[in-house]
Amino acid sequence: MDFNETEMREAVRELAEALETMLNLIKVDALPATPEAHRLMRKAMAFLDESTDRIAAPERPGEVLDLAVALNRLVVSTREQILDDAVAASPVPDHPNV
């Protein structure tokens, strides 16, 4: 395994940890989430579960990078949906008319 592949594996691990953190925050109701956010989280977790063996033992050069890019897209989509949900659930600021 070369240095770039080691970096990619570490990147995938970090993405997985970030996704797990988001899931845990939602589970304890620290962040609101709509059914769409939950769907995206399930999709990202399923992708991670399905690709774990390929990350550990890639069949071809560059496969870990491809998996990291795909996982990153899923995590970013999920994060954006969660942030959108949090903003939508926030109370409207109460300021005087300007």
Q: What are the pLDDT digits (tens) for 26-81?
A: 676 766 678 888 888 888 888 888 888 887 788 887 787 788 888 888 888 887 88
Domain housing 55: 3-87
pTM over 0.85, yes/no = no
Residue 93, domain member (yes or no):
no
Q: Is 76 exposed, middle or buried (0-12, 13-18, 19+ CB in 10 A)?
A: middle
Rounded to 5 degrees, φ, ψ at 4 are: -65, -40
Residue 94, domain member (yes or no):
no
Residue 98, domain member (yes or no):
no
Residue 50, domain member (yes or no):
yes
Q: How many independent structural domains does the chain possess? A: 1
Residue 95, domain member (yes or no):
no
Residue 96, domain member (yes or no):
no
